[in-house]
Structure 1
Amino acid sequence: MIPVTGTTITYASGATSSTSTVVHVADAGDGRSAIVVGATAFHPVDTAWPDQPADRGSLRAGGATHPIVDAVVGATQGDELVLGRDVPVRTGTDGWTFVVAHIVEGDGIAEGDTVEIEADAAYRAALSAGHTACHLASLALDAALADAWRKETPTDALGAPAFDALAIQESRILPDGSRDVYRIGKSLRRKGFDPAAFDDPAAVAERANALLAEWIATGGAVRVDADGPSLADRRTWVCELPAAEVRIPCGGTHVSSLSDLAEATVSLEAQPVEGGLEVVMTTTATRR
């Protein structure tokens, strides 16, 4: 039976392997099974904001190894477990129990079985580097665009006008990088943003990259703080930067120190779209 607290997760602290007991098995369709365990080190893709993809790896039970073909968030208000995109609420919504569902081919795994779960450590490390670099890049972009605002506006964790939060349409964490898509339309212009700031995207990127180089050179500590051990508990990315300790809500995985990164750089492309401008920021991280 699924515990009312949902799945305990250990990936936020850097774990890539775990041993636990199967608490629920559900039909995931197409001949696949969704395996829910009490605790897991396997990072799933979130349904509401699917920026970081699921880990890659395997599940071992009864002497057999099963590749994990996907890992998604599942939720229940009672007996029925809803999986992935069918989950109608954000993770952490009151009244719901949230779990990590490990998707494997076939069946043969049952409630009560002890299973060993192993995430691909190299792939995890690449995603963690990409996710940390993504957060740094968003802060650097905000700072590089600080002079483009004509009105008072909400600010980011470093006190700069929060362009990233106000304009973001999509964010995807990639191995050793990320891709973020921003939309500059009527709403953002009304908030006081001047689209002319992107007349020279390379100049904006140059300012952001100078900040990124300065921050990474400090080798500041990075960690994930959690309100509790379960999947639904709030987690926060914390990074020591020269100006302040930065805190950003985040459910993903990260490096443990900026010294793990040799470099992080961004490139920017801006193109007209109906009603405004689309800006794509590509972030590349190089690990030591």
Structure 2
Amino acid sequence: MGLPDTDTIVTYPAGDLRAEGRVLVASPHGDHLAVITDRTSIHPVDAAWPDQPADAGVLRAGAREYAIRDAVVAATDGDDLHIGSVPVRPGTEGWSFLVAHLLDADAEVGEGDEVELEADAATRRALSIGHTACHAASLALNRALADRWSKAAREDALGSPDFDGIAIASSRIEPSGSVDRYRLNKSLRRAGFDAAGLADGLDRLAASVDSTLAEWIADDAKVRIERVGEDLTDRRTWVCELPHASARIPCGGTHVASLGELGTVGVSFAVEDDGGTPVLVMTTRAGASA
């Protein structure tokens, strides 16, 4: 059949759990069988920014059902197939970007098979809650830290200096929560951010962020994903209709439909040392885990 020459069509941005597809590639990959279909509802982990884990789920081929052990982004230039570790940026001309579903090595799935893919609803919802809470908390954090900037800085979607976008080192989405790490390094200070005394006021910072989140959640701000197409690499944007503004953040993950679905959201902060550079760690918990 040869390697695909178009991106995988993905339906999870619309909230779909199920999709029907045709197997384009079924190839051994380490201890697994990597199965690539023309269409999928399974959210993969992206090696370029691996914040949200892959969906749990199953692949059905006829009467057979196989657990999806992982789902990762793959890419091909028509000659070689790279699974999990992609050597070029998404959207690079001449490359196709794909979702590889990793099954047990003995799975009886072959090229040309018509299959059904289904994401686990509970896992998807927990990660979607975590991702939506993460974005909302980042905007609330930017607002809480706005008076620490002495110079004009790039603004976030709500007009606050974008501390999250400027200082973020890593973000990890977890079920009903997230952990975000921000480097308080020299370049941040040169940009005009004053970190003096920050470590001594972490409880006050958390209270400020929590208060803003409670306001937005009480308003039940609506959330949606806007996309320009159905391909894996097509641009997607998280949009949240907050009380006085529409927040927009580029995002390839999954989300719930409103902030009201998060329930109670709480954040906590710590300052850690990373080789001599202080790192602000924000842990966000939603619902019963808050």
- Residues 1:104 and 2:103 are matched in the alignment: yes
Equivalent residue, structure 2, for 1:95:
94
SS in structure 1 opposite 2:112?
A: coil
For the Cα contact (< 8 Å) 2:5–2:78, is it kept in 1?
no
> Residue by residue, what CA displacement relative to the aligned partner does 1:32-63 show, whole Å, maximum 9, x if unpaired?
11101111000000110000000001111132
* Per-residue deviation, 1:108: 2.4
SS in structure 2 opposite 1:200?
A: helix
Equivalent residue, structure 2, for 1:214:
215
Equivalent residue, structure 2, for 1:225:
226
**TM-score, structure 1 length as denominator?**
0.95
Equivalent residue, structure 2, for 1:136:
136
For 2:224, the aligned partner's letter is R
Equivalent residue, structure 2, for 1:244:
245
SS in structure 2 opposite 1:199?
A: helix
| Structural mapping, 1:105-254, within 5 Å | 105-106=104-105, 107-196=107-196, 197-254=198-255
For the Cα contact (< 8 Å) 1:26–1:81, is it kept in 2?
no
For 2:268, the aligned partner's letter is S
For the Cα contact (< 8 Å) 1:47–1:90, is it kept in 2?
no
For 2:231, the aligned partner's letter is S
Cα distance between partner residues in 2 of 1:286 and 1:138: 17
**TM-score, structure 2 length as denominator?**
0.95
Equivalent residue, structure 1, for 2:5:
4
For the Cα contact (< 8 Å) 1:270–1:277, is it kept in 2?
yes
CA RMSD of aligned residues (A): 1.3
Which segments of 5 or more consecutive residues in structure 1 lack a partner in the other structure? none
CA 1:273/1:111 → structure 2, altered by over 3 Å: closer, same or farther? closer
* Per-residue deviation, 1:276: 3.1
Equivalent residue, structure 2, for 1:281:
282
Cα distance between partner residues in 1 of 2:213 and 2:176: 15
For 1:217, the aligned partner's letter is A
* Per-residue deviation, 1:89: 2.1
Cα distance between partner residues in 1 of 2:278 and 2:254: 31
SS in structure 2 opposite 1:131?
A: helix
Instruction: Give the length in aligned residue pairs.
Output: 285
- Residues 1:24 and 2:25 are matched in the alignment: yes
For 1:25, the aligned partner's letter is A
For the Cα contact (< 8 Å) 1:137–1:212, is it kept in 2?
yes
Cα distance between partner residues in 2 of 1:96 and 1:38: 15
Cα distance between partner residues in 2 of 1:77 and 1:63: 34
* Per-residue deviation, 1:270: 1.3
Which segments of 5 or more consecutive residues in structure 2 lack a partner in the other structure? none
Name the stretch that deviates more: 254-263 or 49-58. 254-263
* Per-residue deviation, 1:263: 1.7
SS in structure 1 opposite 2:263?
A: strand
* Per-residue deviation, 1:261: 1.9
* Per-residue deviation, 1:90: 2.8
For the Cα contact (< 8 Å) 1:198–1:204, is it kept in 2?
no
> Residue by residue, what CA displacement relative to the aligned partner does 1:108-129 show, whole Å, maximum 9, x if unpaired?
2111101111111001000000
* Per-residue deviation, 1:18: 1.2
